[in-house]
Structure formats: C-alpha cells, structure tokens
Amino acid sequence: MDLLTDIKKEQYFLTVSIGYLGTKFSDELEDDFFENADITKFNQIADLERFISNCNLLSVPELLLLEIGNETAEIKRLITNIKNNPVTQGISIILLDFSGNKSAVVDTFRPFVNDIYFYPFNVADLRERIKFILRFKYIRNERKERPVTIPVTHYKIPFTKRMFDIVVAGLVLLAGLPLMLLIALLIKLDSKGPVFYRSKRAGTGYRVFSFYKFRSMKVNADKELDKLSELNQYAANGGSSAFVKIKNDPRVTKLGALLRNTSLDELPQLLNVLKGDMSLVGNRPLPLYEAQELTSDEWALRFLGPAGITGLWQVTKRGRSEMSDEERRRLDNDYATDFSFWMDLRILMKTVPALFQKEAV
C-alpha cells in the first residue's frame, strides 16, 4: 500500500503537497516514492524562497524536503524565514544532509526541523518518517485553521476526567500555595536563575505547549545534555534511547536534588493541568528532542492518550532502576489504549507511596 493510499484510508486528508529542494534525490521521486502527491521541485534556494513568499494558507505545502551540502548559512536563513512567517511556520521540514559534517548540521538545525537524514540514508526509514509526519500533523490543535476536506480526528480529554483534573488541581494549588512560595524563595537563595523552568513539550496529539516546573538544575542545563549522553540510564551499552535519565546528574543543584526526590518540583505543572495542556494522570509529555525519536506507528500510540503529571510507568517500577527503554514505551502505549477514570484513581493512589521510594542504586 502506497503512502497516500494508506493515509487516505485512515481519513486524515485527501492530498499532500510537498516541496523538494535539490537534485540528488530526484531519482527516488521519479520512481513514485511519493505516488499521488503534489510535488513541486526546486533546484535553487532562491526559487523555493519565491514560491514560499507567494504561498497562502491554501497553497502552503505540508512538508519540505531540503537537500543540504555546503550551503548551511543559506538553508538556515531559509528555515528561519519559514518559521517566522505565520502562514508557513507549520510546514514540516526534513533535511537530507550530503555535507558529511554531521555534528555541525545537528548543532545548527536540530531545534528547527522535524528530522535530519545523513547520506547514505535508508530510504524505507525516510518513507516511514514522512508517512508519520503527514498522518499526525493534522491532529495538532495549532492546525485548526487549516481547512481539510475530510473531518480530522481530535483527541480530547474526556469530560469526567477534565472536571476531576480541574477540581483536584485547583484544591491542591490553593492548599499548597504557602509551600510553593517558600520553595520559590529557597530556589532564589540557592542558585542564580529563574524560579521556574519552562520548556516546550509534546503532549496529547503532538500538541506542543510550555511546560512548567520549579527549576532544579543550573541555568542552561539543556545545552549540556549532549555531553552527558553516555550516562543515560535508558541507553544501555552505548546505544540510543528516546528517553533521558541520568543518575547523579551533575546539572542538578543541591536544593534541586531535594525537590526532585520529593517530586515537589512538579507542583507548577498543576497550572498546566488547569490550562488543559495535560491531566493529573497520563503519559509524560516529552521534550521535543525525545518526542522526535518516537516516530514509528508502534511507538507513536503513546501520544494518542492524555499527557499527565503521573502515569502508569511511574508507579509500575518506581524505586527500581532496571526499567528498559522499550518497557517504558510499552507501558505508555498500554495507558493510551486502556486508560479510564478508575485506572486513573488507582494510579493516583499508588503515586503517593511511590514518592517516598528511593531510586535503586
């Protein structure tokens, strides 16, 4: 089954518009790699820039495939302009890197594009990645203004779950306000930087939102993550993982260690619950660099359930360090498939004692 037929069957949209910049991948396009798609090809960056500048909401492409060689500055300028334009900022972008300078390309472009493929790359993997992006971009809330000819499936928190979240989160915030003010004061006294840590997270339906916690790390700790990749407990034997967990993380402040061990750093997420970004119980919303690793049909299921502060995997093996990357993914999928009000109550009741269990050494 080809890409477009598969997507049509699942009733997300009828046509796909793709812009392609480059010449090295043209043979694959000629071989019906994107059968039935509306593909516009560009040999020069200036040609693509002119095309993008003339786009409106009805003509903007869903996805851009950009070959990159030595023209790093020009491609970065192009992507920056696309993301700064309200009409085009929703375009998904995949880079096909032929420069041979992997580290420089990753450092420059990773925050701004959906994915990067380095030559020689696996064409089947690229096909699957594009299929994934096109399937899920239409369930994101920020794309509501985009008209489609077939109704789009939106994933919403059930009414009873939402009402429970509002009542409980509101009561806990009121009761915990004095404690939160004290924590805020201690954070300011403990280390330089803001009281709150805010980052972009991917939650239900891949909706991206601003996620709040009390700051427990040094300022700019995210920039040090690549240097600590070998310490990731989920990436066993030097492998890779979608999730990140570092034992005795050197980025954590003294007060931050206490806040984390007691989960008090999570209290500001109750504001996210009240806003509707997430629920009390659900799958953990992921940083964008983690979410982009879960792109296959098998693992993307976890984003079709509620995002939450606590969840199934947190109470399943809290206090034990041997949970594998795959095991956590499967627990997230299980929750997305089977969650219910009563399951949420059981998870909440297990969460309180789990907070006092120390992580295994």
Last residue of a domain, one of 91, 108, 143: 143
The answer to whether position 359 is within a domain reads no
Inside any domain, residue 149: no
For residue 101, pLDDT beyond 70: yes
Own/partner contacts of 81-90, CB < 8 Å, gap of 24 or more, are 81/49, 81/52, 82/52, 83/112, 85/52, 87/55, 87/56, 87/57, 87/60, 88/52, 88/55, 88/60, 90/60, 90/137, 90/142, 90/143, 90/146
Q: Are 116 and 95 in contact (CB under 8 A)?
A: yes
> By C-alpha distance, which of 309, 305, 325 is closest to 317?
325
Which among 143, 176, 191 is the end of a domain? Answer: 143
Query: Would the pLDDT of 176 be above 70?
Result: yes
Token pair 């299921």 in the structure block, residue: 301
Cα 62 to chain centroid distance, Å, stands at 18
Better-scored residue on pLDDT, 296 or 128 = 128
* HSE-CB of 201 using CA atoms within 13 angstroms: 21
Question: Is there a domain that residue 253 lies in?
Answer: yes
Per the model's pLDDT, the better-predicted residue between 102 and 267 turns out to be 267
Give 271-285 pLDDT, tens digit per residue.
999 999 999 999 999
State how far the Cα of 328 lies from the Cα of 335, in Å rounded to an integer. Answer: 11
Q: Do 247 and 285 sit in the same domain of this protein? A: yes
Q: Which amino acid is at 220?
A: N
Say whether both 106 and 166 belong to one domain: no
Across the chain, mean pLDDT equals 76
Report the SS3 class of residue 287: strand
Residue 361 forms part of a structural domain: no
pTM of the model: 0.54
Q: Are residues 294 and 262 in the same domain?
A: yes
CB 249 within 8 A of CB 228: yes
Is residue 127 domain-shared with residue 184, that is, in the same domain? no
Domain identity same for 186 and 324? yes
Q: What pLDDT does 329 receive? A: 81
Q: What is the pLDDT of residues 133-156, one digit of tens each?
A: 766 554 443 333 433 333 334 456
Contact 88, 59 (CB under 8 A): no
| Number of domains comprising the chain | 2
Verify that 210 and 108 share a domain, yes or no. no
- Is the pLDDT at 91 greater than 70, yes or no? yes
Query: Is 150 inside a domain boundary?
Result: no
Residue bearing tokens 């003010």: 181
Q: How far is residue 185 CA from its own chain's centroid?
A: 31
pLDDT tens string 24-78: 876 666 555 555 667 888 888 999 988 888 877 667 888 888 998 888 888 999 9
**Strands lying side by side in the sheet with 196-202:** 208-214, 196-202, 286-287
Q: What is the mean pLDDT of residues 176-197?
A: 92
Residues 133 and 241 in one domain: no
Distances (CA, A) of 145 to 52, 53, 153, 201: 19, 19, 14, 22
Same domain for 346 and 225: yes
Residue 176 located in a structural domain: yes
Task: Give residue-wise pLDDT tens across range 295-310.
Answer: 555 667 788 888 999 9
Pick 333 or 6 by higher pLDDT.
333
Query: In the predicted model, is pLDDT for residue 252 greater than 70?
Result: yes
Q: Determine the Cα–Cα distance for residues 155 and 177; give it in Å rounded to an integer.
A: 32
Tell me what pLDDT residue 297 has.
55
> Which of these, 253, 252, 260, 233, lies nearest to 244 by C-alpha position?
233
**Is the domain of 165 the same as that of 132?**
no
Q: Supply the range of the domain harboring residue 204.
A: 159-354
Judgement on whether residues 220 and 312 belong to the same structural domain of the protein: yes
> DSSP string spanning 96-158?
EE-SS-HHHHHHHHTTTSSEEEESS--HHHHHHHHHHHHHHGGGSGGGTTS--SSPPP-----
> What's the CATH number where 122 sits?
3.40.50.2300
pLDDT for position 27 = 67
Domain presence at residue 152 = no
Mean pLDDT, residues 182-199? 91
182 found inside a domain? yes
- Asked if 195 and 233 sit in the same domain, the reply is yes
